Amino acid sequence: MENLTAKRNEKVKEQLHKIVDLFQTENIPKAIREVTFPPYDVPSNKWSLSNRLLMFFSGTSDARGFRQWQTVERNVMKGSKAVHILAPNTYRSAICGCGHRFNNQELKQSRGNVRCPKCTAYLDRSKIRTKVFGFRLISVFRKEDTEGKELEYENVAVPDIPLLDVAEAWGINVKGMAFQGRIMGYYRAKDNVIALASPEEKTFFHELSHVSQDRLGLLRKERQNTFNEVTAELSALVLAELVGREDPNAGATYAYVKRYIGTDDKEEIGKYLIKVLSDVERIVNNIIIPTEFLSHEHKEEELVAMV
């Protein structure tokens, strides 16, 4: 029993340290903004900010208990590991005017007015104090580790974005999703899916660049690989320029690249960008050339129709 308690305490300590670490990272203001203004109704909306941050950095913005997922007709997939949030252990206390100290059990048992066992007077409820004496772990599961009925916030229409025809020609299903706290979009190779949480075209260009990377055999398999992300972001900037967008937000691209490379040194950033430029050229050409072909094919169809 002591060993089990020690293990639980150690896990609680780990989660507390994790929260401290999160507040020391550069991207915490963004994290706070994103998890404080959730765009859809999920149970985590009622969680504390620290727990929502723990969820955010576990790679999801929707985590629920086992039974909570069942109520929306989704099941936790076999072999999935829970992530943990922290719930406070609390107790209540109060002191009557006669000096009697109410303990937690006395206050807990009474659902209405509390009568003092010493002087029989009713306790002024404004004198009840709630204190925290540590935390306990609560196990929840990420949405990504569940399967079943589609969630309401997953049905979001995709706007008419340039280069969608390329994705279609490559057999990629482009779908919309509500903003989920951490990512604005993703490409999942095993399902041939691009999911977008933003109508911003450059978000789509970034994910389409990942598809092009993959088709060229240039996509590194590790999740959130720096080379993949920097290359895709630069490719997206070039694509935005090529399709005639006046403001592709180059400043945001630079900030994104700088964060992934992990340095403010312009010389080091420049060296890294030179390393990826040949890949960027191949990725962009792989997208643009099929687009030109499709446009040419479309014009031929129009001519045939006119004849």
Neighbours of 196 (CB within 10 A): 24
In this prediction, residue 242 carries a pLDDT of 81
Q: What is the pLDDT along the chain (307 residues), one digit of tens a residue?
A: 567 667 766 766 776 666 666 555 545 555 554 444 345 678 888 888 788 888 877 877 789 999 999 999 999 999 999 999 988 888 888 999 898 988 888 887 666 778 888 898 888 888 888 888 888 899 999 998 999 998 877 667 788 888 999 999 999 999 887 665 556 788 888 889 888 877 778 889 999 999 999 999 988 876 667 788 888 888 888 888 787 665 555 555 667 677 777 777 777 777 777 777 778 888 888 988 755 544 444 434 432 333 3
In this prediction, residue 37 carries a pLDDT of 36
Can you give the three-state secondary structure of 89-131, one letter per residue? EEEEEEECCCCCEECHHHHHHCCCCCECCCCCCECCHHHCEEE
Q: How many helices (H) and strands (E) does the chain have?
A: 10, 9
Is residue 137 domain-shared with residue 169, that is, in the same domain?
Answer: no
SS3 195: strand
Is residue 190 domain-shared with residue 111, that is, in the same domain?
Answer: no
Q: Would you mind telling me the total number of residues written for the chain in this entry? A: 307
Characterize 176-195 residue by residue with b for buried, 16 or more Cβ atoms within 10 angstroms of its Cβ, and e for exposed. bbbbbbbbbbbbeeeeebbb
Q: What would you report as the CA-atom Rg of the chain, rounded to the nearest whole angstrom?
A: 27
User: What is the arrangement of strands in the sheet containing 193-196, beginning at the earlier edge strand?
Assistant: 173-176, 193-196, 185-188
Please count the structural domains in the chain. Answer: 2
Is residue 192 domain-shared with residue 283, that is, in the same domain?
Answer: yes
Query: At residue 289, what are phi and psi to the nearest 5 degrees?
Result: -60, -50
| DSSP state for residue 57 in the 8-state scheme | T
SS3 164: helix
Is residue 171 domain-shared with residue 284, that is, in the same domain?
Answer: yes
pTM above 0.75, yes or no: no
What residues pair up with 130 in beta bridges, in sequence order? 92
Instruction: Classify strands 74-76 and 146-148 as parallel, antiparallel or unpaired.
Output: antiparallel
Is residue 189 domain-shared with residue 62, that is, in the same domain?
Answer: no
In this prediction, residue 25 carries a pLDDT of 53
Among candidate residues 152, 109, 110, 102, the one with its CA nearest the CA of residue 128? 102
Distance of alpha carbon 182 from alpha carbon 71, whole angstroms: 25
Under 8 Å CB-to-CB from 19, ≥6 apart: which residues?
50, 53, 54
In this prediction, residue 160 carries a pLDDT of 85
Is residue 206 domain-shared with residue 111, that is, in the same domain?
Answer: no
Is residue 125 domain-shared with residue 44, that is, in the same domain?
Answer: yes
Distance of alpha carbon 206 from alpha carbon 216, whole angstroms: 15
Is residue 175 domain-shared with residue 51, that is, in the same domain?
Answer: no
| DSSP state for residue 154 in the 8-state scheme | G
Is residue 201 domain-shared with residue 219, that is, in the same domain?
Answer: yes
Distance of alpha carbon 131 from alpha carbon 268, whole angstroms: 51
The last residue of one of the domains, among 114, 148, 182, is: 148
Query: At residue 5, what are phi and psi to the nearest 5 degrees?
Result: -65, -40
The last residue of one of the domains, among 148, 168, 195, is: 148
The last residue of one of the domains, among 93, 117, 148, is: 148
In this prediction, residue 111 carries a pLDDT of 63
**Could you tell me the residue range of the domain that residue 210 belongs to?**
156-304
| Cβ atoms of 264 and 258 closer than 8 Å | yes
